[in-house]
A and B are shown apart, each in its own frame.
Chain A
Amino acid sequence: MKKLLLAFTAAALAASVSMPASAQEKTKACFVYIGSKTDGGYSQAHDLGRQQVDKELGDKVETVFVENVPEGPDAQRAIERLARSGCAIIFATSFGFMDQTVAAAAKFPDVKFEHGTGYKTAENLGVYNARFYEGRYIQGQIAAKMSKTGVAGYIASFPIPEVVMGINAFTLGAQSVNPDFKIKVVWANTWFDAAKEADAAKVLVDQGVDIITQHTDSTAPMQVAAERNIHAFGQASDMIKAGPETQLTAIVDTWGTYYVKRVKAVLDGTWKTDNTWDGMAEGILEMAPYTNMPDDVKTMAEDTEAKIKSGELKPFTGPVKKQDGSEWLKEGETADDATLAGMNFYVQGVDDKLPQ
């Protein structure tokens, strides 16, 4: 039965490759999404980036995307199908596509590959990521100012460095305002399951948190927060529509500029493998408008944002202790990128045991 199901999924996948009709001589830029392009979160942000490529390079480039590609073996089929169909560059946008993208890159040496949020590179495989933790640090500061209970709830997806880094940055931001601030973490073990994310949010509110932040992709937690009259942060896209009086701000992924730059490089023949890790300064992520907060909190947030952009403030700067109390960063010491990219421990103040 499972085989049958897989066969159907493959057929469905094949059918969902959308190809806008256009002249054949255009360069093809292809995108693989884990969710639907209208998920209101992560995949939608990537699709907005694709649309920017369409808008700016539309006369020379045609874009193709495949949505709802599950992480794992199915992803390989989707990626290879794109490679075979003549894509010049393929953006695999989810962390879990990593090994499949690496395999596809080895199989199709003439196609350029770019893997989002990963760390494995090759001659024809670059990686790109955004320093989301910069935004999370600001969110942490806002949370500590806005919370009355002194506890924020964090709905996390999977214990990968990217997510752990976010939790730590949020915690450090909050502690910079209130050293006793606590974070409660719930692992949903999914990127996208609206009902489960809503359950997690309800559970956190029941346990006394009055700020919710999430590293999952649906707007359900925002809705629960609105229902229970507390505040929340949006994830990946501006979620203000789900909580007009609830959202404080959101980390908005703005991949477009990077996508345009890289597709242009393919057109010019200057594409080289890279390891891009841009931050707010380069414009790969933005903060949604600071709303539903008093002016002094807003000023603080804007101030921090400006300092991060100018490079004056780096969120992971010592003194920072690990969760067990041992020293991680000395006074004034800043964590290097390699440590951040492989982060597998909590800083002090996180009320959770990291799943290993």
Chain B
Amino acid sequence: MLIAESILLTIATAATPLLLAAIGELVVERSGVLNLGVEGMMVMGAVCGFGAAAMTGSPWIGMMAAILAGVLFSLLFGFLTLTIATNQVATGLSLTLLGLGLSSMIGEAFVGSPGVKLPTLANGIAEIPLVGQPVAGLFNWLAGIPLIGRVLFEQDPIFYISIALVIGVTCFLFHTRAGLVLRSVGDNHASAHALGTNVIGIRYLAVMFGGACAGLAGGHLSLVYTPQWVENMSAGRGWIALALVVFASWRPLRLLAGAYLFGAVSIGQLHAQALGLGIPSQLLSSLPYLATVLVLVLISRNRRLTMMNTPASLGQPFVPDR
């Protein structure tokens, strides 16, 4: 195995949960809602995904459970902020704290249970009767391509979903009517409402999508990244995802770049340490964050461009007919 191949694989694994959680939050924020509960939804996805997989033995059911947990948890947020119009910042924060606590409680039974790992896409397909084997064979053959083969064709299904979601969200937001409506709700909910758009309904859908993505990201942590359950296993990744959305100035393709940049810097600093280059490890550890700050500064230099991408109604509660 080439070391470069292996590094690429490690980076993709590190970037995938960040990308998933962030792409969901991007859609939520584009609809004008700020959900700071990403970390909480993520950790709930992780514990429910792990639990369901451990009980049924099927990582696929685990993934479904992770998504469902994220959606249910986001509905709680939706009900509070959209239906009864509570403060989004405070509600999001308490969602995170609730998620961390609740997941520890649910997860207590699963601590130390053997993990179930989601198979790679190729191995998953191989189990499908008739067509499975040849398709898997093709994947395995393609994985033999030097350097990029393994990172493109020997991955878990969640990796492909994350990439598909980025492309899908880009098309949806900027090339469909529904996407235009969603952005209009985020930019000016009063006007959208006056035009007859169901602001609350659209925001509910966006929030649920965000929950599903965060749940999936959590499932990736507990079923792919480190197939085990430990308390607080999201370890702040939900917050990084939130930062990535701002970093990407609410644009999906920049988000993709941002998540992989962040993944690359975090893995790169570990490699630099293991090579014994003699650079202080504290400095190396802070590199991913320094890189984020640097890019943020560069991006926000052009005020007009930033304003153009920022959803104007972000974080403001909407109460119809007030």
Residues of chain A having any CB pair with chain B under 8 Å: 1, 4-5, 8-9, 12, 15-16, 35-36, 38-40, 68, 153, 159, 184-187, 189-190, 192-196, 198-200, 202-204, 206-207, 218-220, 223, 241-242, 351-353, 355-356
Contact = CB atoms under 8 A, between A and B. Distances in A.
Interface residues of B, number: 44
Interface stretch (B106-114, B131-139, B167-175, B186-194): B106-114
B221 A195 contact: yes
B226 A352 contact: no
Contacts of A159: 281
A68 B225 contact: no
Nearest to B275: A207
Contacts of B108: 38
Given A40-B112, A187-B281, A202-B10, A194 B233 contact: yes
Query: Considering residues A190, A206, A355, which has the most beta carbons from chain B within 10 angstroms of its beta carbon?
Result: A206
A189 B266 CA distance: 12
Contact of A194 (B10, B89, B226): B226
11 contacts: A1-B93, A4-B93, A8-B97, A9-B97, A36-B104, A185-B276, A187-B273, A204-B274, A218-B226, A220-B226, A242-B228
Given A38-B111, A241-B112, A207 B228 contact: no
Contacts, number: 121
A220 B228 contact: yes
Interface in B72-115: 89-90, 93-94, 97, 100-101, 104, 108, 111-112, 114-115
B6 A194 contact: no
Contacts of A196: 235, 266
Nearest to B268: A203
B89 A1 contact: yes
A185 B90 CA distance: 41
Nearest to A218: B230
A199 B10 contact: yes
Given A40-B230, A68-B232, A223-B228, A353 B278 contact: yes
Contact of A39 (B101, B230, B235, B237): B230
B280 interface: yes
